[in-house]
């Protein structure tokens, strides 16, 4: 099984996908087989009635990962809400065992797998299960992306403190 890394942010729209795509492309150009995963993507647009997870598509393209999009992004949700809320409103239940299984499948055939969260570490996948919990169960080190704006220091330090409390590196 290859290694992995979890990309999170201090907020939504801070550049997680931009960074993750750049890292994936750099690793690919350096000769690594790069797997990617976006466990849940909300705010997906539609094309011919099919949801299109734009972040997952960008990760797939940047990495050259041949894994089907449905595995890269197992939960594609229309409403731009926290995954737990969007899933509930759409009648879907996010299954953590399924996410772990998909991650293990992707990482087993790649040198490194980049997993991109949504929002920040405390965004819920289930009412009482966050992306921090997922990063911990997957045993992934975390890279935190922060916007260069007023208030960022507080957001970043809160994120790092929570990561530390959860035992994440």
Respond yes or no: is residue 38 known to be catalytic.
Answer: yes
Residues with Cβ < 8 Å from 151, sequence gap 6 or more?
Answer: none
Taking the C-alpha atoms of residue 84 and residue 35, their distance in angstroms, rounded to an integer, is: 25
**CA end-to-end distance (rounded Å), the chain:** 20
Point out the catalytic residue in the list 38, 60, 139, 166: 38
Q: Environment class of residue 12 by beta-carbon count within 10 Å: exposed (0-12), middle (13-18) or buried (19+)?
A: middle
Q: Which residues are catalytic?
A: 38
């Amino acid at each position: 099984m290859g290694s992995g890394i979890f990309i999170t942010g201090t907020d939504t729209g801070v550049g997680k996908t931009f960074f993750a795509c750049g890292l994936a492309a750099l690793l690919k150009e350096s000769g690594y087989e790069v797997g990617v995963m976006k466990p849940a993507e909300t705010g997906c647009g539609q094309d011919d009635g099919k949801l299109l997870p734009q972040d997952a598509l960008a990760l797939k393209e940047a990495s050259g990962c041949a894994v089907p999009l449905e595995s890269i992004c197992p939960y594609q949700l229309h409403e731009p809400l926290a995954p737990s809320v969007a899933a509930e409103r759409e009648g879907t239940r996010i299954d953590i065992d399924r996410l772990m299984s998909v991650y293990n499948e992707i990482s087993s055939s790649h040198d490194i797998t980049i997993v991109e969260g949504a929002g920040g570490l405390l965004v819920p996948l289930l009412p009482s299960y966050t992306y921090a919990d997922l990063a911990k169960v997957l045993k992934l080190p975390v890279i935190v992306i922060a916007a260069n704006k007023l208030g960022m220091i507080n957001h970043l330090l809160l994120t790092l403190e929570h990561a530390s409390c959860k035992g994440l590196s």
